Amino acid sequence: AGAPLAPLASDGQSVPLVQGGSVRWVNLDYAASAPALRAVADHVAQVLPLYASVHRGASYASEACTAAYEAARRQVAAFVGARPDDVAVFTRNTTDALNLLATAVPGEVVHLDIEHHANLLPWQARGNRLVPAGSTVAATLAAVEAELARRPAALLTVTGASNVTGECPPLDRLAEIAHRHGARLAVDGAQLVPHRRVDLCAIGADYLALSGHKMYAPFGAGALIGRRDWLDAAPAYLAGGGAVREVTCDSVRWAPAPARHEAGTPAVLGALALAAACRELAALPDGAVAAHEQALLGRLDEGLVAVGARVLRIWPDAPDLDRVPAVSFTVPGFAAARVAAYLSAEHGIGVRDGKFCAHPLLARLGAADGAVRVSLGLGSQADDIDQLIAALGKLRTDGPSWRYTADHRPSPD
């Protein structure tokens, strides 16, 4: 494990330390936002001069931009194995994509309690049916099945990979259960898509939400990809220009999806960057990302055990369950916020701390005050893990100044 698979636009960055001097920045926070690939950043710089609004008139620049934007839509759809009649709507991010889906579901929604707030609050707002995950994967599937059998639902929605523990629920089995009970399956792909080749057809999933900034595109765009009928029937997500067929002073005939849900000038660069990231990820050899990351994940698992961290798991007795490289833990005796501050200030290591926009899950895992999350990606190296583990080892001896005090409360998110 070691050699990065592809260069990142931020490779070689250094940061100042509190004790003076600077070190190579060790980014262990890919799950929050993955730095852009060099090729994606270059692509954005290349298309920037062709700056025109899409779908607006017949100028050369506008037509070229429109063609690039629509090609980007096709590339994103193809990257996730969309069916030919599926639709891909560009959104701001995964949160936006799931909120859009929430306006389109023609019935009740079932979901688990392990979700990121983006796949929880849109449903909570409209009378969700929440199923507590079981202590095993089998018990969880049985609980979902029992809920769908008890009363029909239009949609089962589930994360493809937990942003807290990296654990990947078995999507193909959830799709089969949902379909057997007349429901569709939506997948929050924010954490899965950067790490695994996702194929909507092969999984049998009906909708997928994703964020460009988590899959090596700069900030700007996400997408909702899936079945067209609900999206064509839903109210326009935003009312405004570009989403319509015809308007009079007191009436409107809306366009079908995707235009129906993309009113206003879209984030064209974000969409082109997202598509470029899809192209770069698709060009990597099959399984290469997973192979690179899994070796590092094993090293991380072992190191965390060795320094006495308490690792959080939804399903602790499922060693064969697929996991993307995000691991959350607590260090007994130290508040998570202090651990993260210490790693950054003293060692130049960037991790995430807090409740990861998954408060019910953190409470369920006995970490209601927050935890530390380490997450890996394409640019991660064995050395990054070794530096982290060495730093965590030093935390205990580095003195009481880094211990939790009332002034250093865990961050609230």
Nearest-approach distance from CB 117 to ligand PMP, in angstroms: 8
**135 vs 94: CA distance, rounded Å:** 27
Nearest-approach distance from CB 314 to ligand PMP, in angstroms: 13
Q: Is 96 helix (H, G, I), strand (E, B) or coil?
A: helix
Comparing CB distances to ligand PMP, the nearer of 276 and 324 is 324
Chain position carrying tokens 């090293």: 299
31, 191 Cβ separation under 8 angstroms:
yes
Verify whether residue 249 is a known catalytic residue.
Answer: no
Comparing CB distances to ligand PMP, the nearer of 93 and 128 is 93
Comparing CB distances to ligand PMP, the nearer of 337 and 361 is 361
Of 65, 168, 278, 357, which is the active-site residue?
A: 357
Comparing CB distances to ligand PMP, the nearer of 116 and 323 is 116
Comparing CB distances to ligand PMP, the nearer of 169 and 303 is 169
Binding site for ligand PMP (CB under 6 A): 93-95, 116, 118-119, 159, 163, 188, 190-191, 211, 222, 357
Using only C-alpha atoms, the chain has a radius of gyration, in whole angstroms, of 22
Comparing CB distances to ligand PMP, the nearer of 357 and 389 is 357
Nearest-approach distance from CB 155 to ligand PMP, in angstroms: 16
Contacts 24+ apart (CB under 8 A), 409-412: 409/335, 409/337, 410/335, 410/336, 410/337, 410/353, 410/354, 410/355, 410/369, 410/370, 411/337, 411/353, 411/354, 411/370, 412/354, 412/355
**211 vs 286: CA distance, rounded Å:** 21
Nearest-approach distance from CB 58 to ligand PMP, in angstroms: 35
Using CA of residue 43, residue 48, residue 49, residue 53, what is the dihedral sign?
positive
DSSP-assigned letters across all residues of 207-266 = EEEEEGGGTTS-SS-EEEEE-HHHHHHSPPSS-STTSEEEEETTEEEEPPTTGGG--SS-
Contacts of 140 (CB under 8 A, 6+ apart): 112, 133, 134, 169, 315
- Exposure string of 353-385, with b = 16+ CB inside 10 Å and e = fewer, is bbbbbbbbbbebbebebbbbbbbbbbbbbeebb
Comparing CB distances to ligand PMP, the nearer of 159 and 294 is 159
Nearest-approach distance from CB 245 to ligand PMP, in angstroms: 30
Nearest-approach distance from CB 187 to ligand PMP, in angstroms: 10
219, 212 Cβ separation under 8 angstroms:
yes
Catalytic positions, please? Answer: 357
